[in-house]
Structure 1
Amino acid sequence: MPLNERDRIEILMMIGVGDRMRTQQEVCRLFHEMHPDREPVSQSTVSRIERKYRELGHVRDAPRQGRPKINENVQQDVILSALENPHCTVRQVSRDLNIGKSSVSNIFKKVRLIHELAEDDFDRRTEFCEYMMDHNNQNNGFIANILFSDEATFFLNGHVNRQNTRYWSQENPHWMQEYHTQHPQKVNVWAANNEFMRHFMDALYKVRTIVDFFNNKMLTIYSPKQTLAVDEYMLLWRGRLVFRQYIRNKKHKYGIQFYLLTESDGTIMKIQIYTGAVDDMGGKGHASNVVLHLVSDYLDKGYSLYMDKYYNSVNLARQLLDRNTYCTGTLRANRKGIPTEVINTRLDVGGTVQRYGGHICVGKWKDGRDVLYLTTEHENILQEVKTRSDKTKIKPAPISEYNKYMCGIDLQDQMMAYYTSHRKTIRWYKKVGIHIFEMMLYNCTLYCQMFPKIYPKRCGECFIQNGYNSEAASEAYFNRYPERRQPNMSIFGRLKENLVEYGGFNKSRPKNYRIQDAEDVAINVVGMVVKWTDYLLYRVGKKYRNT
């Protein structure tokens, strides 16, 4: 209840004058003792009343401006006008009664159209409830055999759902309740031992456990194909953060920089978050240190690595070649060890020049501009490739292979952008945790796409990812409440069956590919999303219905 003029005068008397003046805290306590049934006043309120008295000499309210205050008679006039003409608009009522449009809208908002209750409604509804309870007691599956239709939910927030047009579902789509992201206390969960990790002076101590879990889990359950790619990803963040990065030519110029090791289809194998020059990989040789850290678990196994000119160098290629790892990618002209003949040679459009040294090939190809490249795997031969417009073009083999296998990060960025959970009004560590959890869901979606029995191919990749996110959330919910599970098989059961039938994840493997038991792999994939859901950030735009 707001303070009136008498309350403000009483507060001034409590403050006192001269040496007998009370502090604001004492005035608040005294006012609460004298009026225990009223809402206590704050110190800012006491300060504002005292300042107003000193400046103006009174504590009266300022005279109101504009139209008179809405009273009960005006509200009745607005309601009567709507009853006389139900098709009238807010603008018409505002013009006829000389009332503001916002006031008319507020009055109409309080008046709601509801179903009129008849005298026999209570008896008929009671009879129907008794009928349903009797049949349910006689047959436990009676409720499950009822088809509920003509049910829809509409959100008046300007958002139109165009992601799918599904009308029928094999499972109950309303097992969980949807919440908007403006309720962070309801949809955000954070669990981490901050006191334990803080002593290690790690800038990522709040998300270090999640990062390590992701890297270790991917190393355990999946052996990638022979081709890998290294690139960076910028997670948008414009708040104050000591390791926030700025990259001018990125879509998100400010943010948290991720270094990713991926496959050509977008499967993310390992992540590393850059925390600035004080990082273990910061300083001189930063790019080479990042690459060696990301591929440290895949050295000496014959993998092929693709990277752009930010990372590639002759020295790094020599280090990788010594560890039985091949590399291919573009190259900067100011790198050390590049032959001067390659840099100084002028070429016509389509021409190429190369030099070899120690199984390392450095070449230059003239397209619209000069393109420097380095490879330790492919021969520098020209071959025909098809462009997006189905035209043929002659390119060197290292360039065509680089374009073929370097699109993994761009692909995963595109696919994850369709169903992103990123929001602006959250902490940076929550945003990072949510993004890592989305990476897990995206990886699991790719694993499901390897087996055609899980989803029909006509649904498209976007629909598959959306459906997998929903089923992952339902699996996490029913893992906590198994008694509420319906008898139909979930996606994880189908995934396990297909893994056992196919006997593994991928067909093209390096020579030293380690075969794992398909059933154990399926269990690990399930555990990646389900077992750690309570520990990780759970954010797919929904919340458990604890009923």
Structure 2
Amino acid sequence: MTGREGYDRLFRLRPLLDEIVVACKAFYHPHQALSIDERMVASKNCIGLKQYMKAKPTKWGFKLFVLADAHNGYTCDYNIYQGKLFTATGKGLSFDAVVDLLDVAHLGTGYHIYVDNFYTSAALFRHLHQLRYGASGTIRQNRLGFPRAQNSMPKRADRGAIRWLRDGPLLYTKWMDTREVTMCSTLHKVYSGDSVQRRVRNRDGTWTTRRIPIPAPVKAYNRFMGGVDLSDALLKLYNVAQKTQKWYKKLFYHFVDIAVVNSFLLNKEMALAKGGKPLTQRQFREELCMLLLADCGRAAAPEEVECNPITIVDNSFTSHASKPLRAENLGKDIKCASSETHTTAFSCSALVVTD
């Protein structure tokens, strides 16, 4: 019953959902950098699973927590948000969402996880550090466990100013760009000598372009956080979604898109590994459709039925179509499976009577 412990609101889709997730894990081992973010599957169906996120291009729909390869956008794993669960750890939704997506037994250890400020917390990063996962992401300064440092960034700091503080394995970094950027990381040191170009306003009101230092966590975050966004772009480029009033069909179409895009990325990786030219996604989908049609055309032919003539003498004889063959039907066309239509007083085992 809905609302009871153990009730699965996705029971209609659970077999397919589990099968797709297993396939995502079984046929591809991701690169070291992974990103976790939300994905919205557009829907306005009247169901409790529907969510609203004003910061997303798709504001209404089903929310998925997605683990994607930052290198190519491959969807490694995903969970559908079902609201408040009875199995929550008590450490918050963001903590549970990340931990549920990281299968240590399958992935192994040594991966670098990039998340945004919805997920980043001291408790999560310490937990991932114990599992031998590195983590990096933007962080909200009102998060529980965020240090209250004395060397905080002044309000009118120069562009490129850096402040940092280390708390065990956690490195907190503040960097002044257009606005203050706050990061937490267990992977990086503060500064690696990198810089970026920015337009800076001079005291006399003029603007000049100059290079300013950038912290290592910020540079890595800008490079690797877009794995889920890249996956979303590939999914939306070509998709099989259709208008429907059934909410579970929306998710079904999305599962098919995930399977197709992941297959395309696997094909691309294999082509590059062999030194060949990979197919575009459109070419890959066309080839896939042709292969599926070819498989349908190779359906097993029906077994040939031997036709043995039988004299019609019993009016209670029943045809293959479960219709009694009476005397008045003797003058009508009778079609045997192995002969053309003709008028006859005989029948066979594959008898079909036509008016």
TM-score by length of 2: 0.72
CA deviation map 1:383-441 (0-9, x unaligned): 43567999855311111101111111111211221212223334111111111111111
The answer on 1:241 being equivalent to 2:69 is no
Of the three residues 343, 351, 373, the one matched with 2:161 is 351
Equivalents in 2 of 1:358, 1:268: separation in Å? 32
Alignment check: 8 A CA contact 1:327 1:377 kept: yes
Equivalents in 2 of 1:332, 1:218: separation in Å? 32
The verdict on how the C-alpha distance between 1:407 and 1:385 changes in structure 2, with shifts beyond 3 A counting, is: farther
Write the mapping of 1:16-415 to structure 2, written as runs, cut at 5 A: 201-264=7-70, 265-278=72-85, 280-281=87-88, 285-297=92-104, 301-341=109-149, 344-346=152-154, 347-384=157-194, 394-415=213-234
CA deviation map 1:154-202 (0-9, x unaligned): xxxxxxxxxxxxxxxxxxxxxxxxxxxxxxxxxxxxxxxxxxxx99621
In structure 2, the gaps of 5 or more residues are: 200-208, 301-355
Equivalents in 2 of 1:259, 1:345: separation in Å? 33
Equivalents in 2 of 1:215, 1:393: separation in Å? 43
- The worse-fitting range, judged by mean Cα deviation, of 445-454 and 311-320 is 445-454
The answer on 1:436 being equivalent to 2:255 is yes
Equivalents in 2 of 1:393, 1:211: separation in Å? 47
**Bigger radius of gyration, 1 or 2?**
1
Equivalents in 1 of 2:232, 2:218: separation in Å? 22
Partner of 2:319: none
SS of corresponding position for 2:187: coil
More strand by share: 2
SS of corresponding position for 1:340: coil
Equivalents in 2 of 1:475, 1:215: separation in Å? 23
Equivalents in 2 of 1:236, 1:343: separation in Å? 45
Aligned partner letter, 1:419: Y
The verdict on how the C-alpha distance between 1:251 and 1:358 changes in structure 2, with shifts beyond 3 A counting, is: same
Aligned partner letter, 1:260: V
Residue 317 of structure 1 deviates from its aligned partner by 0.5
The verdict on how the C-alpha distance between 1:454 and 1:203 changes in structure 2, with shifts beyond 3 A counting, is: farther
Alignment check: 8 A CA contact 2:240 2:256 kept: no
SS of corresponding position for 1:311: coil
Of the three residues 439, 446, 455, the one matched with 2:265 is 446
Partner of 1:474: 290
SS of corresponding position for 2:214: strand
CA deviation map 1:489-535 (0-9, x unaligned): xxxxxxxxxxxxxxxxxxxxxxxxxxxxxxxxxxxxxxxxxxxxxxx
Write the mapping of 1:463-542 to structure 2, written as runs, cut at 5 A: 464-482=280-298
Residue 467 of structure 1 deviates from its aligned partner by 1.6
The verdict on how the C-alpha distance between 1:231 and 1:335 changes in structure 2, with shifts beyond 3 A counting, is: same
In structure 1, the gaps of 5 or more residues are: 1-197, 485-547
The verdict on how the C-alpha distance between 1:404 and 1:225 changes in structure 2, with shifts beyond 3 A counting, is: same
Equivalents in 1 of 2:150, 2:183: separation in Å? 10
Provide the identity percentage.
Answer: 28
The verdict on how the C-alpha distance between 1:262 and 1:371 changes in structure 2, with shifts beyond 3 A counting, is: same
TM-score by length of 1: 0.48
SS of corresponding position for 1:230: strand
Equivalents in 2 of 1:383, 1:440: separation in Å? 41
CA deviation map 1:348-388 (0-9, x unaligned): 32111111122211111111111110110111105435679
Aligned partner letter, 1:276: G
Alignment check: 8 A CA contact 1:445 1:465 kept: yes
The verdict on how the C-alpha distance between 1:227 and 1:473 changes in structure 2, with shifts beyond 3 A counting, is: same
The verdict on how the C-alpha distance between 1:352 and 1:429 changes in structure 2, with shifts beyond 3 A counting, is: same
